């Protein structure tokens, strides 16, 4: 689907990590060449779990945009904007929430999963339950046709498709159903074996110094059967081996064989991985330091992005209001 409209966004909750890089960011860079791209900083979404302390939210917004630019997102080829700079999104969310059954939201798998994983935070809120509707508004306000997602986000996109079908049924054909663009990389494991996430504190940051990267990689959980150096293991049960598939594809047979035969210890295996990760991150970190020397860069990028996206959002919202009978008599 060349020349299609592509929409993707990230919550600004701190510096980005390997899960972001391989889960979506590098794909976003490639998609810039394939279609009309809209990439937004989802600061309203950040409040669904970080509402109790938003003191660093504006700082995180700036850091994330700099990370995006350092990775290779280009404001000349993609529209980069901040969600809260587009109030049309919030209004569209309100309209969509009127037609979204409560049961649809309660069955989204990540709703209960996040409540279980983030027990230290009170996220039993209207905003957290309803954030998939806000995601739908994000997509539909620009008439997004393709949405890069990981497999764990597919239920959210399917909910958007259901909302589209219900809206079109009630008010006439208005929106097309967005299609998923699945990441070519499987879910990136964190140091504890769970999905890599800032919320879980199990991440390797894109800005981590080499010593920190090495320390984190060496702490990754491995096959529990390898209790001693001489015990053979199963590489498929090892979090580090999943990252080896990305960073050392040229040595997978060697690494897997030495795990199964106890030819190497886990420290040796993870040491090789740490070196590859450090080497891969260095160009990004160098570009990032150069971008930090340009004051006002992020403000200009976001200001220009808002200028480009606002007319489209106004057009979509006008049609929605008309179809729902909202406006002057």
Structure tokens at 103: 């049961």
pLDDT beyond 50 at 325 = yes
β-pair type (146-149, 35-41): unpaired
Please name the residue that has the structure tokens 């404001």: 75
Higher-confidence position of 183 and 217: 217
Per residue in 17-71, pLDDT (tens digit) is: 999 999 889 999 999 988 899 999 999 999 988 888 899 999 999 999 999 999 9
Average pLDDT over residues 282-292: 96
β-pair type (35-41, 179-182): unpaired
Please write down the long-range contacts of 253-257, taking CB distance under 8 Å and 24 or more positions apart: none
Please name the residue that has the structure tokens 């081996």: 241
**CA distances to 216, 258, 275, 321 from 264, in Å:** 19, 5, 16, 65
Q: What percent of the chain has pLDDT over 70?
A: 94
Structure tokens at 242: 């999943």
What is the predicted pLDDT for the residue at 151?
Answer: 79
**Model confidence band, residue 2 (pLDDT cutoffs 50, 70, 90):** low
Distance CA 143, CA 146 (A): 9
Q: Which of 75, 101, 114, 237 is nearest to 165 (CA)?
A: 101
Judge whether 16 and 48 are in contact, CB under 8 Å: no
Distance CA 319, CA 196 (A): 40
**Residue 237 in 3-state DSSP?**
helix
| Alpha helices in 118-251, H assignment, sequence order | 126-129, 131-140, 154-171, 210-218, 239-247
Per residue in 187-203, pLDDT (tens digit) is: 889 999 998 988 788 99
What is the predicted pLDDT for the residue at 1?
Answer: 44
Kindly report which listed range (57-66, 130-139, 150-159) carries the lowest average pLDDT score. 150-159
Average pLDDT over residues 272-292: 96
Q: Give the Cβ contact number of residue 280 at 10 Å.
A: 15
User: In CATH terms, is domain 210-289 a member of 3.20.20.70?
Assistant: no
Judge whether 198 and 191 are in contact, CB under 8 Å: no
Higher-confidence position of 328 and 251: 251
**Model confidence band, residue 308 (pLDDT cutoffs 50, 70, 90):** very high
Structure tokens at 1: 């689907």
Buried b (16+ CB within 10 A) or exposed e, 222-239: bbeebeeeeeebebebbb
Domain at 4-188+294-323: CATH code: 3.40.50.620
Judge whether 284 and 25 are in contact, CB under 8 Å: no
What is the predicted pLDDT for the residue at 184?
Answer: 79
**Residue 127 in 3-state DSSP?**
helix
pLDDT beyond 60 at 144 = yes
Q: DSSP characters for 35-74?
A: EEEEEEE-HHHHHHHHTT--TTHHHHHHHHHHHHHHHT--
**Model confidence band, residue 229 (pLDDT cutoffs 50, 70, 90):** confident
Put simply, whether the predicted model's pTM sits higher than 0.75 gets the answer yes
**Model confidence band, residue 121 (pLDDT cutoffs 50, 70, 90):** low
Instruction: Give domain limits for the chain.
Output: 4-188+294-323, 210-289
**Which of left, alpha, beta for 124 (phi over 0: left; psi -120 to 50: alpha)?**
beta
What is the predicted pLDDT for the residue at 115?
Answer: 59
Q: What percent of the chain has pLDDT over 90?
A: 70
Distance CA 22, CA 18 (A): 6
Q: Which of 89, 76, 41, 90 is nearest to 61 (CA)?
A: 41
What is the predicted pLDDT for the residue at 283?
Answer: 96
Judge whether 81 and 306 are in contact, CB under 8 Å: yes
pLDDT beyond 80 at 101 = yes
What is the predicted pLDDT for the residue at 14?
Answer: 84
What is the predicted pLDDT for the residue at 152?
Answer: 77
């Amino acid at each position: 689907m060349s020349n299609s409209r592509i929409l993707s966004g990230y919550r600004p909750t701190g510096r980005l990590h390997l899960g972001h890089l391989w889960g979506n960011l590098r794909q976003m860079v490639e998609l810039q060449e394939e279609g009309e791209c809209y990439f937004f900083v989802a600061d309203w979404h950040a409040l669904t779990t970080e509402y109790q302390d938003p003191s660093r939210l504006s700082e995180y917004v700036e850091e994330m945009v700099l990370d995006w630019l350092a990775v290779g997102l280009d404001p000349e080829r993609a529209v980069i904007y901040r969600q809260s700079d587009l109030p049309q999104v919030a209004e569209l969310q309100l309209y969509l929430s009127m037609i979204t059954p409560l049961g649809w939201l309660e069955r989204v798998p990540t709703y209960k999963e996040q409540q279980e994983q983030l027990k230290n935070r009170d996220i039993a809120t209207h905003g957290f339950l309803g954030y998939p509707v806000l995601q739908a508004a994000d997509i539909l306000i620009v008439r997004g046709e393709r949405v890069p997602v990981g497999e764990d986000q597919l239920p959210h996109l399917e909910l958007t498709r259901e909302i589209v079908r219900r809206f079109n049924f009630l008010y006439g054909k208005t929106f097309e159903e967005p299609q998923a663009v699945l990441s070519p990389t499987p879910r990136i494991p964190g140091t504890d074996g769970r999905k890599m996430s800032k919320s879980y504190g199990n991440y390797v940051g894109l800005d981590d110094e080499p010593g920190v990267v090495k320390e984190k990689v060496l702490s990754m959980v491995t096959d529990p059967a390898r209790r001693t150096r001489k015990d053979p293991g199963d590489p498929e049960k090892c979090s580090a081996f999943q990252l080896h598939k990305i960073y050392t594809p040229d040595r997978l047979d060697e690494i897997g064989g030495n795990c199964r035969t106890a030819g190497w210890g886990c420290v040796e295996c993870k040491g090789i991985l740490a070196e590859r990760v450090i080497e891969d991150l260095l160009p990004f970190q160098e570009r990032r330091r150069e971008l930090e020397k340009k004051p006002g860069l992020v403000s200009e990028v976001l200001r220009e992005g808002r200028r480009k996206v606002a007319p489209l959002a106004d057009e979509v919202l006008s049609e929605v209001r008309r179809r729902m009978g909202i406006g002057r008599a």
